[in-house]
Amino acid sequence: MAGEHLRRLAGSCQGLGRSLPEPLQHIRSWLFGALEESGFSDAILRLSLHWEDRLPSHMLVIAREFKTHPEEMYEKGVWLKTAVMRRWDLHAQDPQIKSSQYVSGVLAAIDALENSAHELIFMDLNGYVAEGTVSNIFIVKKKRVLTPPLASGILRGVTRDVVLALAAQAGLETRETPLTRHDLYSADECFMTNTSSEVLPVTKLDDLSIADGEPGPVTKKLLDIFRNNRKVFCTR
């Protein structure tokens, strides 16, 4: 997934009228060098670019040991809450430009902590489900894997794309389609994805349990497939 993250970074720079300071392959080699220097056998690397007026950009990488959530969360699932604030309009900010403008996410995260929720779910301005505070959202309905489309104002998550591909390879029907909050309430299963959470089961939204309140078989299957192939994804 390293290659996909870097390609998304290059696309974000282009969207801002900027360019990467080095070719992608050079940056990739630099990152793997930083990983080796960190001493971590498995790590999350956060790369950021900084510009000052028209001066050349500066690259900064922060390495931290990769630690996923406690296994209990994967066994029991997590609780989400619907955010009061809405996801920004596509005309206001392009969600495919991954920038450091996380104010809405930070405010939502504070709200989530105060309510003991794992994350908040943003709705778009039309009332459809967009994404979580830092995650993409999926549901399973009649063995079909469904997720909001990019047009709902979401970031095209790298893990989201990997999970869609894995689900298709596993013979599951996948579809990007608008989802309402009712679709989540009435889903057979629900899960969320991001780099550190991987495939995290969601068993409760607001005050309602999703299905029987337990992680479902499709979610478990996708999590197993993802974990079995993690090393392959990370070196791409």
Q: What amino acid positions are annotated as catalytic residues?
A: 98
Q: CA–CA separation, 84 vs 104, rounded Å?
A: 11
CA dihedral 14, 18, 24, 29 (to 10 degrees): -140
Cα–Cα distance list, 99 to 33, 120, 176, 183 (Å): 24, 20, 24, 30
Q: What is the β-pairing status of strands 189-194 and 136-141?
A: antiparallel
Structure tokens at 177: 């389609």
Structure tokens at 91: 């005309």
